[in-house]
Every structure is written in structure tokens, then in C-alpha cells.
Amino acid sequence: MSFTKFFNKKYLNIAPYDTAGEHLELERFIKLNTNESPFAPSPLAIEYAARAAANLNLYSDPDCTQLVNKLAASLEVEPENILCGNGSDEILNFIFAAFCDETQGAAFPDITYSFYKVLAEFHGVNYVTPELDAEFKINLDDYIYNRRTSFIVNPNAPTGLLLSLDDIERVLSSNPDNVVAIDEAYIDFADSSASAVKLINKYNNLIVVQTFSKSRSLAGGRLGFAAAHADLIRDLKAIKNSLAPYNINSMTQAAAIGALEDKNYFDNNINLIKEARAFTVESLKSLGFNMTNSQANFIFAGHEKISGQKLFDELRAKNILVRHFAKPDRINNFIRVTIGSMSDMKIFVNAVQEILNKND
Ligand code: PMP
């Protein structure tokens, strides 16, 4: 990248997140590339957000008091255990700022959410990226007593594979002097007992990160949160109040309260995604695809008769957007496909079938 002569020297090596191609003319495409929900936000979320718009002349509540109280109640923790962020990306940024630098290093898998690398580079953090094993599983030994700040996405992206809470506890208990962040962006699509939130008062080094962008249909509202021991939340809040005190706008705070109150809508949407995921997995299996056992709202699939790039290109020609990662090499034959509505997934499966027939 090149910058002007005015650009801060300490940022000359940054590698910004590449969002190219994520925002195209939406009407033309079935959008299965960024793990959003295919469903609109809850009607209650929309109603509350619209009501909040009338007060946009006033600053938003910097502590998100009402929302934090609701979230704490729904997670069965205390309000002092929660901090809201402008998307979970902002929470991850706060965690890097608070708990990593050139001497306190970071660790995250070679194949995981690519924003970790962006943040590590931005903050000048010394980081390692241990390889996933041949089946794309995390090798736990890489995180046991590793003396780094560890970031584990659970279920991981783009593989969808879930680590057990026993494994997470082994990482936590072996690293009492280091923070362990468990990024649960996709946890609502896994079994209901999989979340590490219940461990935050047992381990004072644990931060659980969640988002309203996926299961709660609020990606455009930008809301994520950290759940952790009150002392860790205090550290993160100090960073938040130094960078972006009013980080969550009033409409988003209101929308999120509506989304939390509308539990039936949430439960129903999760069930619809799980049904569409099961349909997609079965259909692709019968077409000869290899797949990981994804517990998320996406699947990770490859076929020996067609490259990941070709499949991506041919789907795009049919106005279906999926995600293809060229690097590292061992995943370049795979595509990551967000689970949309059942009708989206039927169109997707038919398209894949046509592409395979044509290339036979
Ligand atoms: N973590 C993971 C693993 C993700 O895939 C994403 C979304 N791409 C995020 C965090 C950030 O999501 P948001 O900022 O929308 O909460």
C-alpha cells in the first residue's frame, strides 16, 4: 500500500481488511458471502429503533444502560460483566489495545476470521498463527500455557467447527496470566450449552465476545459485546472511553433491546437456519462434496472435480455470491456459503448441480 508523506510512520505496515465485493447491487444477487441473516430484524427492533430516531438530537447513552441490563439478565450475569461495542469488531479492537503489544504477543489460528491479523498488524503486536490440523481442527496444545493473548473463534470461521467447553477450560486454566478471548459470533447456531459465558466468573482471564450481526439480524446496526469478569470489563471500558465514548448510537441500542425482547422471533429464525443448514449439507453430500461439521450459519465445502475459484466464479455468474479464500493453499478448493432462507438454499443447490453437470 502507498500513503502520503503525511501518514503516520507507525502505520506504514498496516494491511486493512478487504471488504471488496461484499457490497454489490443487492437486488440482483442471492447474498451468501458475509454470514448475515436472511431475515429482517424483529418487528419490535424496527419499531423501537424508529421511536429512538425522534431523539437523535441527543447523545446516545455512553453506557448503554438499558441494553446492558437486558443483556445481563438474558445471559444470567451482572451488568458490570458487559461492555457493548460498535460491532464485535470494535470489541476485538479494544481487546488488542488493552491486552496485546510488541512484548505481550497474541495467538490465533492460521485459518480463522481474517480481521485478527489486520488488528494485530495495526497494533504492532507480535503474533503467531498456529496451523489447524489436517481436519481443520484447532490443536489445543498450541494454546495451552502459550503465554500469549489467545483468540479462539468458537465455532471457528470459516470451518464452523466447535471446541468443547472442557477444551476451552484447559486453555483458560493453563494461562492464568494471559487473557483468552473466545469469539462466539456464531454460537447461537450451535448447541445451546456451548457458550463460555457461564465461565466468566470462574476465570478472571476470560472474555467472551458475541454479536447481534448474525443470529439477531442487526449487522447494519453494528452491535457486539464482551462478557467478562468485572475487572476485565473495567479495563476494556477505559479503552472504549478513550477512543469512542458514545460508540453505540441510540437507534441501535433501542433496536437491540427489541431484538432481545422478541425471543420467539429469535428462536424461530435459529430453527429456520438450522433446517436450511441440514438441507444444504445433505444436498451437497449427495453431490459428492467434502464438508466440515459446521455448527455455524455457514458451511465450508469443497469438491474434488471443481476448484473453489471456478465454483465461486460460476455461482457468481448465476448471481449467487459465496466466499472463496485463495490462501492458505489447503483451503483454496473450498467455498464458504452462508446459510440463507430455505428458498435461497434450494436455488443455491440447483445452481451447484447445474455447474457440476456442465463441468462433468
Ligand atoms: N468475529 C467473527 C468470527 C466474525 O466472523 C465476524 C463477522 N465477520 C465478526 C467477529 C465481526 O462481526 P460484527 O463486527 O458485525 O459484530
CA geometry: angle 264, 85, 340, nearest 5 deg: 45
| Same fold yes or no, 20-39+264-358 and 43-261 | no
CATH number of 20-39+264-358: 3.90.1150.10
What are the b/e assignments for 333-355, b being 16+ CB within 10 Å?
bbbbbbbbbeebbebbbebbeeb
Query: What is the whole-number distance in angstroms between the Cα of residue 358 and the centre of ligand 1?
Result: 35
* Residue 285: how many other CB atoms lie within 10 Å: 12
Which of 23, 89, 118, 215 to mutate to test ligand 1, by most ligand atoms within 8 A of the CB atom?
89
Cβ atoms of 199 and 228 closer than 8 Å: no
**DSSP string over 91-113:** HHHHHHHHH--SSS-EE--SSS-
3-class DSSP state of 301: strand
Ligand 1 lined by 153 (C-beta under 6 Å): yes
Asked if 62 contacts 185 with a C-beta cutoff of 8 angstroms, the reply is no
Q: Where are the domains of the chain?
A: 20-39+264-358, 43-261
Contact yes or no for 347/281 (Cβ under 8 A) = no
Alpha carbon nearest to ligand 1 atom 6, residue: 185
Specify the pLDDT at position 19: 75
| Cβ-contact 115, 95 below 8 angstroms | no
Contact between 251 and 221 (Cβ < 8 Å):
yes
Is 0.85 topped by the overall pTM?
yes
pLDDT at 18: 81
Residue 88 CA to ligand 1 centre (angstroms): 6
pLDDT at 279: 98
How many residues in the chain?
360
Cβ partners under 8 Å of residue 169, min gap 6: 199, 203
Q: What is residue 291's predicted lDDT score, i.e. its pLDDT?
A: 97
Across the beta sheet with 180-183, the strand order is 82-85, 224-228, 206-211, 180-183, 149-153, 106-107, 127-128
Distance 160 CA to ligand 1 centre (A): 13
Domain 43-261: CATH architecture, name and number where available? 3-Layer(aba) Sandwich (3.40)
Burial zone of 131 (CB within 10 Å; 0-12 exposed, 13-18 middle, 19+ buried): middle
Q: Which of 115, 104, 150, 114 is nearest to 130 (CA)?
A: 150
Radius of gyration of the chain (CA): 20
Supply the pLDDT for residue 191.
86
200: helix, coil or strand?
coil
Contacts of 271 (CB under 8 A, 6+ apart): none
Q: Yes or no: say if 111 and 99 are a contact pair by the CB < 8 Å rule.
A: no
CA 333 to chain centre: 22
- How many whole angstroms separate alpha carbon 102 and alpha carbon 96? 11
Quote the ligand 1 centre to 353 CA distance (angstroms): 30
How would you classify the pairing of strands 224-228 and 290-291?
Answer: unpaired
Task: Give per-residue pLDDT as tens, 136-163.
Answer: 999 999 999 999 999 999 999 999 999 9
SS3 298: strand
Ligand 1 atom with the smallest distance to the CA of 91 is 14
Question: What pLDDT is attached to residue 204?
Answer: 98
Residues in the chain, pLDDT under 50: none
